[in-house]
Chains A and B, each alone.
Chain A
Amino acid sequence: MSQSKNAVELCALLVDEIYGELTSRIITILLRRGRLQIQPLGRHTRLTRRQLKHGLAILIQQHLVFFHETKSSTHYEANKDAAYNLIRTGKVLEVVENKFGGVAKDLVHSLFLMGHAKVPDLFEAYESGDHRATGDFGVSEKPATNGVNGHTNGHTSAHELRQTLVKLLDAGFIAPIYNQMFRSPTDLRNELETDLQASGGAFDGGAKGPKKKTALRDKLEQQLEDMRSTRPAWEGKGRKRDREIDSNGSNGSAKRRRIVEDGSDNDDDLKGDLLLNGDLTVYLNYEKLAVALRNQELVALAHTRIGDVTSQVYDKFLALLEPVIDRCQEHIDGGDGTTIRLKSVYNALPENVNVSLGIGKIGKDKIDTGALDRPQLKPQSEIEEDGDDDEDMIKDIGAVRPSVPQPRFIVDDDNPHDLFASVDEEERRMDDLNNHLRVLLADEAPFLRMCFDNEYTVDFPELVEYLKDKELAFYLRECFGPGGHRLVRVMQKLGKVDEKQLPQIALMKQKDIRTKLAEMQMAGMVDIQGVPRDASHTNARMIFLWHFDEERVKALFLEKIYKAMSRHLQRLDIVRRKNSGIVQLSQRSDVLSGTVALTEEQTNLISDFRKTESKFVLQISRLDGLVAIFKDY
């Protein structure tokens, strides 16, 4: 996140919203001023030393502030991303609940409260029931569709708790803390650089000359990357791919399937118990959680573009890929990157997903699937395309049949008689599944890429780029109408366009074009460049070129979203103040305990306020979805 005014304002407001005023005041100054020691921090915040220390302790505990300690001084620096991530709390809890059930959600909730915690402390916090506060928004209280939610109110055995934690650690959502996480990335870099220079060798006495500087930078990157991989990894993380797959399908039948190469369950538990008894301190790994959130977003995209069943298939596919992706925006090599075989998807897919639905039935001769059967070793962006003909042809694909016969045997330890199920049935299921993957393959959005026969992968950068373009197009259309959007598309395709040519290309009137372009220029969406045709520099002898700078517009758009989110929070505060009387009344201990009953009017007032409040938070969380697409995924 850039150090923009809007972002700073938003982060301060978010911290205020969650952790209260003291922490927010400190982080505001840290965000505005950058690194500070405690004395200047006191000068700028006008807080007493005691208040500062308390505030900083909380901020460090919640990972909102980095610190850097040397012999003589301690510097503090705000962690912008962590501050921003506060808005995702609800989403993270939802994603965890969806995947691992109610106990896991409550565990994560406790960990959110604690920042980072030793495992026994975490369990204790869970037992003490910090999580049992209910969110009394004006929304109907329906349990998650997952069916595992029933645990929340009952007692959870220690064993179950451990198992859940092991699952979360395995998934990477919770991770052991590591040394460097309390230091800011810049500090870490500087430290490494001094170390490198002090250690002698090639960089003794500082890097001089551009060549050496590049070498130093490369070396630093390398070391930072190494550091990332040498973090104290959770033991169970070794076997990344083809791990245990829980098949909690949509109707909640918790039937467990596993793939042959996986170990047994008891083994996992034993190891987990051993590790959890120790001094393991854990924190919430937002990088990994962002991956899960991204998957959710992509599945939603598949759902809107294609359909329910296909999106379920895609969900399983992404779930298989998830263990190998540690963070979003990680560079994954195309081709030799991780691929998922059709069979793995088949094995992972729960029984209750009826893959025969959601696909049209057309005879094989009616469609040409040639383009789909061609494996593509590299992402689209890296290949020079020879033409768009193939794409046009495959757009209307209905059903296709696989050209390669599929292996038929699956091992399922819960249902051994599956082995003897009718071969026809299985082949048909495999066919249907393959068809779903092909529908994904053929879609305009680059959901999948086939690397080899029946081995697929996802090019996340391209897919996210597609999402960005889609959102940006939607925004431009909303703000500047179809005309403005059309002009932008022309400019996107042709680059810089002469104003005189635009009417012919865009098929619009010159007058309309001029007004629209001027309007968009005022909003900063397009820009103009004048090129004189001769030395006289008169307007008549000038070529005016319009262009659309996508990167700039995306940055502008992001800023606008930040600003909108800030305004929502401020407005929410005003609404809160207007209703402060009734809100305070509802928080009184005698009202909460039920000794004093509220009148009907008061109850109505409170529920009205809650509804308004939830509208604001909903809008902010929707805007956050956009920020995620443009910044994080």
Chain B
Amino acid sequence: MSKRGGRGANVLKGANFEYDTEIKLDVKPELDFPIHPDLKKQSAPSEREARVLRNFRAYQSTVQAGPIYTHPTKRDTDAPAKTFSEEQFNKQYGVNVKADFDPFTGVDTYSKKYDPPKQTLPNLKRIKLDRKLFPKELWDVLAGASGDDIRANISRAGERKGAMIDANTVTTNGASEVDQKDMVKLIDKAGEEGEGDDEEANSENEEEEPQDETYEDDEDGGDYNAEGYFSGGEGDGDDGDDTAGGDDY
């Protein structure tokens, strides 16, 4: 430190800069978000407002615990809220369990079974809907006959997985002969493709598949379903509290 003072004296002739150990600068680095000069404190809620708050909160928590709430699937929760295009807006959502798997916190622990279940699709089975009041093209997802068809389809996909492990199940699951042949073909294929099974189940029901989404298979996939060992396969592995914690250190 004293070296700096000396250097100053050397550079400027006649001027003698002594390093002042007592000096206290009253300059602070400027804040990124300076404090508002005239900020007023929020007044406390009146009795009525307190009731309003409580009601709102009660409604919110009931919805969140209920069948119609869908949990956030943002990949990067710290990304800025502002987006500039539809593409960018859409990109921030959607989770591919395998690709976005976090090896540090993603592994299920025993206590995960206490976590509230996370749903990415509303559970229409649990609410009563009058299908007369909906457009026809939505009828197949509403509870009812056609909705059950889709359910059956999904469970068949699960069964196929089981079939790959144990060939005996093919004969016992009561499928028609045509189905059996298909199944055998599938098993042959499965040998080559390995994990490609999920996508196939999807393409059976949907003509358009813009994004590789995980399927909501709440049906039990036999003992092969290692992914959902604790949580039924729903967890996206991102607990939320593992935000890229680098900035704390």
Contact = CB atoms under 8 A, between A and B. Distances in A.
A62 B72 CA distance: 19
Given A618-B49, A621-B56, A47 B128 contact: no
Contacts of A224: none
Contacts, number: 222
A270 interface: no
Contact of B136 (A43, A58, A74, A91): A74
A135 to B, nearest CB: 3
Contact of A144 (B51, B58, B63, B127): B51
B114 interface: yes
Contacts of B130: 118, 281
B213 A18 contact: no
B137 interface: yes
A615 interface: yes
A251 to B, nearest CB: 16
Interface string B216-240: 0000000000000000000000011
Interface stretch (B116-124, B159-167, B177-185): B116-124
Interface string A74-89: 1000000000000001
A114 B124 CA distance: 12
Given A49-B207, A57-B122, A23 B53 contact: no
Contacts of A139: 45, 50, 53-54
Q: Is the interface of A mostly helix, strand, loop or mixed?
A: helix
B51 A50 contact: no
B71 A46 contact: no
A116 B62 CA distance: 17
B94 A135 contact: no
A28 B240 CA distance: 24
Q: Is the interface of B mostly helix, strand, loop or mixed?
A: loop
A590 B137 contact: no
Interface in A60-116: 60-62, 67, 69, 74, 89-91, 93-94, 97, 105, 109, 112-114, 116
B32 to A, nearest CB: 14
A128 to B, nearest CB: 11
B53 to A, nearest CB: 5
Q: How large is the interface on A (under 10, 10 to 19, 20 to 34, 35 or more residues)?
A: 35 or more
Contacts of A619: 42
Contacts of A54: 121-122, 124, 141
Contacts of A53: 137-138, 140-141
A614 B45 CA distance: 9
A352 B163 CA distance: 77
Interface stretch (B2-10, B18-26, B85-93, B190-198): B85-93
A83 B93 CA distance: 21
Nearest to B47: A142
B59 A121 contact: no
A584 B240 contact: yes
B138 A57 contact: yes
A25 B93 contact: yes
A416 interface: no
Contacts of B103: none
B239 A584 contact: yes
B122 A133 contact: no
B86 A20 contact: no
Contacts of B63: 18-19, 113
A89 B213 CA distance: 33
A25 B89 CA distance: 9
A117 B129 CA distance: 8
A49 B204 CA distance: 12
A532 B204 CA distance: 74
A323 interface: no
B61 to A, nearest CB: 5
A418 B48 CA distance: 34
Give me the 8 closest cross-chain CB pairs, A-B, nearest first.
A90-B56, A135-B57, A20-B70, A135-B58, A22-B70, A93-B55, A581-B241, A135-B54
Interface of B: 42, 45, 47-66, 68-74, 77-78, 81, 86, 89-90, 93-94, 111, 114-116, 120-122, 124, 127-130, 133-138, 140-142, 202, 205-211, 213, 239-241, 243
Given A116-B133, A133-B58, 15 more contacts: A20-B69, A21-B74, A22-B121, A51-B120, A53-B141, A90-B55, A90-B56, A90-B59, A114-B127, A137-B57, A139-B50, A140-B50, A577-B243, A587-B116, A589-B115
14 contacts: A18-B60, A20-B71, A46-B94, A48-B213, A67-B135, A97-B51, A97-B55, A133-B61, A137-B53, A139-B53, A573-B81, A577-B77, A614-B45, A619-B42
Interface of A: 17-23, 25, 28-29, 32, 38-39, 42-51, 53-58, 60-62, 67, 69, 74, 89-91, 93-94, 97, 105, 109, 112-114, 116-118, 121, 130-131, 133-137, 139-142, 144-145, 177, 182, 281, 570, 573, 577, 580-581, 584, 587-591, 614-615, 617-619, 621-622
